[in-house]
């Protein structure tokens, strides 16, 4: 997914002179072709993320469309005020490509776990937040990013994630995609948790339970219309993010705000720093962000409903 | 340092006081400190078109110490970026001039500042853009001395030197005071000239209230063809009225009374 995202920046920059890539301190082979062919559109500016974000805002105000890439935690926590003021308030067309969204950097510990990025950035007016589920969807969304007004945050998964997205229906920023029709239940998800959701829905289907899957690749603006349209008697959200301020809370706000009160549960990361290393998969399992737990949660809520 | 301000400097301060009186608040000390720096820039150095504030070829000027905005508002009104009557609505709900300047609201304001440590990086982005596009306009960023404690200033300095942004000029309003007390006591900056030189800047030093000195040094930039410029402007916080000079009580003043405003105007007339 990261490779696709950066390749897309290169591809777009080679045909659009407004597009500029800015890295902090990335691998020596990063976007070599762009650096050679369009040296003015390639910058590598060192471990100075706050300056990079504000400087990119200045360039955006001069008509450039900068795409910044570095590790997600450094791009969100460290630069939060630069993001709020120089990207949000100025409504600049700066794109933040965040490596290692969620639990990807499990072996590297809490400093590198971007488990709060969506909560942080949802608070910023004018911000668009994207969390594609796989490389194919990343490609489709990246093509749309140059035209978005204001800043865009692009959350990257680990890479090599199974491709589950479809080219149809047409990908549109701010529009959730229904991958499976709801009946008894609706699962709402984002990012690579779509894979988990689809696996759970398939398992539930074998048990005779029809669980829909709504994939929100855009977390801001969140597609309230689709959530309300497809909400079933049971709604369960699943995300690779802390439960505070994430997708689940946002979905609950939308449902309750519209006077809807389905049986509801959120699956995500608890309010605690990670106490283990391991892998993305092992931490997902530790937090029960799994198809088994998702299917069990849907089943439990359905049984409650039937009482 | 000139002992007595000339009539133009006094009139700009009167405009500041009128806005202060209207809003009943403002950073008087920071504004009085930076008047001559802004006056020299807008009177003699910057290229701009007040009727077309986003003119592509204009020089960009960012007041990174956004709390000094009363002085910027006085200059922008004086030059016709907006009607002088706007000063009477300083901090009003229907006004465009707030306690910190906003890019999308105020014609002539190049960046929203107020949180310190942002303007220099934005200005560095402007300067790199101009260099890459081979545009001739220049970028000027005014920093507060207290602001130089922000780490982003020095990140931006590394960046500007790396890219040899000779089209970027930093002016430090060095009045040697910040909110709590003397800069030297709160977070000393000395040797400040050495610091900027060590970060790859060509450095000038002037009396920041002496228009002739400011005009002369600003006319000389770039000092060197491949280095960004820093000008240390020695100033006095609250300059212009004897009892505001060096008086921390006037760094920021809320609930400014009509009598206090009248006293400031009287002092500007008589001192």
pLDDT tens across the length of chain A (307 residues): 889 999 999 999 999 999 999 999 999 999 999 999 999 999 999 999 999 999 999 999 999 999 999 999 999 999 999 999 999 999 999 999 999 999 999 999 999 999 999 999 999 999 999 999 999 999 999 999 999 999 999 999 888 888 999 887 789 999 999 999 999 999 999 999 999 999 999 999 999 999 999 999 999 999 999 999 999 999 999 999 999 999 999 999 999 999 999 999 999 999 999 999 999 999 999 999 999 999 999 999 999 855 4
The confidence score (pLDDT) of residue B203 equals 98
**Closest by CA position to A281, among listed A103, A155, A134, A111:** A103
Question: Which residues have CB under 8 Å from A114's CB, separation 6+?
Answer: A71, A72, A73, A76, A98, A100, A101, A102, A104, A105, A155
Q: Which residue is closest to B154 within chain A, CA to CA?
A: A51
Structure-token match 């922000």, residue found: B150
Alpha helices in B2-118 (DSSP H): 7-23, 28-40, 69-79
pLDDT (0 to 100) of residue A161: 85
Please give the ipTM for the structure prediction: 0.96
Q: What is the CATH number of domain B7-270?
A: 3.40.50.970
> Is A48 touching B (CB cutoff 8 A)?
yes
Residue contact B104–A90, C-beta within 8 A? yes
CB contact under 8 A, A50 and B130: no
Residues of chain B with pLDDT below 70 are 1-2
Closest CA of chain A from B77, distance in Å: 23
Which residue shows structure tokens 């969807």? A137
- Domain A2-155: which CATH number of 3.90.230.10, 3.40.50.970, 3.30.1490.20, 3.20.20.70: 3.40.50.970
Question: In terms of DSSP H, where are the helices of chain B?
Answer: 7-23, 28-40, 69-79, 119-132, 151-162, 183-187, 192-198, 211-219, 258-270
CB atoms closer than 10 angstroms to residue A23:
20
**Using the beta-carbon criterion (under 8 Å), do B125 and A56 form an inter-chain contact?**
yes
- Asked if A40 reaches chain B (Cβ–Cβ under 8 Å), the answer is yes
The residues in B 156-185 lying below 8 A from A, measured between CB atoms, are 156, 158-159, 162
Place of tokens 């398939």: A202
Across the interface, whether the CB atoms of A59 and B129 are under 8 A apart is answered: yes
Strand segments, DSSP code E, in A228-283 are: 234-242, 263-269
A162 touches chain B (CB under 8 A): no
Centre a 10 Å sphere on the Cβ of residue A116 and count the other Cβ atoms it contains: 18
Size of interface A-B (CB pairs under 8 A): 83
- The domains of chain A are located at 2-155, 177-306
Cis peptide before A2 (omega within 30 of 0): no
Q: Delimit the domains of chain B by residue range.
A: 7-270
CA nearest A39 in B: which residue? B132
CA distance B85 to B75: 13
Chain A residues close to B151, C-beta within 8 Å: 50
What is A177-306's CATH topology? Rossmann fold (3.40.50)
Answer yes or no: do A50 and B151 touch at CB < 8 A. Answer: yes
CA angle B143, B144, B147 (to 5 degrees): 95
| CATH fold match for the domains A2-155 and A177-306 | yes
Quick one: pLDDT at residue B1? 52
């Amino acid at each position: 997914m990261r490779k696709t995202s950066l390749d897309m920046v290169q591809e777009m920059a080679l045909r659009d002179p407004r597009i500029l890539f800015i890295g902090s301190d990335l691998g020596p082979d990063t976007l070599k072709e762009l650096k050679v062919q369009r040296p003015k559109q390639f910058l590598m500016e060192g471990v100075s993320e706050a300056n990079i974000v504000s400087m990119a805002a200045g360039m955006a105000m001069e008509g450039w469309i900068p795409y910044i890439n570095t590790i997600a935690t450094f791009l969100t926590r460290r630069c939060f005020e630069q993001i709020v003021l120089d990207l949000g308030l100025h409504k600049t067309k700066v794109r933040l490509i965040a490596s290692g969204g969620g639990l990807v950097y499990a072996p590297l510990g809490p400093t590198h776990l971007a488990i709060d990025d969506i909560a942080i950035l949802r608070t910023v007016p004018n911000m668009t937040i994207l969390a594609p589920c796989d490389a194919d969807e990343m490609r489709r969304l990246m093509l749309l990013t140059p035209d978005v007004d204001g800043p865009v945050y692009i959350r990257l998964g680990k890479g090599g994630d199974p491709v589950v997205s479809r080219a149809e229906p047409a990908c549109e920023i701010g529009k959730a995609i229904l991958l499976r029709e709801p009946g008894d239940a609706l699962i709402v998800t984002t990012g690579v948790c779509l894979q988990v959701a689809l696996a759970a829905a398939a398992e539930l289907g074998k048990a005779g339970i029809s669980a829909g899957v709504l994939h929100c690749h855009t977390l801001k603006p969140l597609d309230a219309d689709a959530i309300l349209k497809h909400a079933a008697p049971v709604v369960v959200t699943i995300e690779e993010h802390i439960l505070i301020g994430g997708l689940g809370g946002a979905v609950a706000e939308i449902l309750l705000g519209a006077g809807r009160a389905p049986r509801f549960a959120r699956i995500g990361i608890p309010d605690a720093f990670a106490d283990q290393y391991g892998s993305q998969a092992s931490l997902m399992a530790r937090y029960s962000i799994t198809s088994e737990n998702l299917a069990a949660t849907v089943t439990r809520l359905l049984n409650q409903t039937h009482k | 340092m000139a002992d007595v301000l000339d009539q133009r400097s006094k009139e700009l301060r009167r405009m500041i006081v009128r806005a202060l009186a209207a809003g009943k608040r403002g950073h008087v000390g920071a504004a009085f400190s930076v008047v001559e720096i802004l006056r020299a820039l807008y009177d003699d150095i910057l290229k701009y078109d007040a009727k077309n504030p986003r003119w592509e070829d204009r020089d960009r000027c960012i007041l990174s110490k956004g709390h000094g905005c009363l002085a910027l508002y006085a200059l922008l009104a004086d030059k016709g970026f907006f009607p002088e009557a706007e000063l009477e609505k300083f901090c009003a709900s229907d006004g465009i001039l707030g306690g910190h300047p906003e890019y999308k609201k105020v014609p002539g304001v190049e960046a929203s500042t107020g949180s310190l440590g942002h303007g220099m990086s934005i200005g560095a982005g402007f300067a790199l853009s101009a260099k890459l596009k081979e545009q001739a306009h220049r970028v000027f960023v005014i920093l507060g001395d207290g602001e130089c404690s922000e780490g982003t200033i020095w990140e931006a300095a590394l960046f500007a030197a790396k890219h040899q942004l000779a089209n970027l000029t930093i002016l430090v309003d060095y009045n040697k005071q910040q909110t709590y007390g003397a800069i030297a006591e709160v977070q000393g900056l000395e040797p400040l000239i050495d610091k900027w030189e060590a970060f790859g800047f060509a450095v000038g030093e002037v009396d920041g209230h002496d228009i002739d000195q400011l005009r002369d040094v600003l006319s000389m930039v770039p000092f060197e063809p491949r280095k960004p410029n820093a000008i240390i402007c020695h100033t006095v916080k609250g300059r212009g009225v004897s009892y505001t000079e060096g008086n921390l009580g006037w760094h920021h003043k809320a609930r400014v009374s009509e009598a206090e405003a009248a006293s400031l105007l009287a002092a500007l007339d008589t001192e």
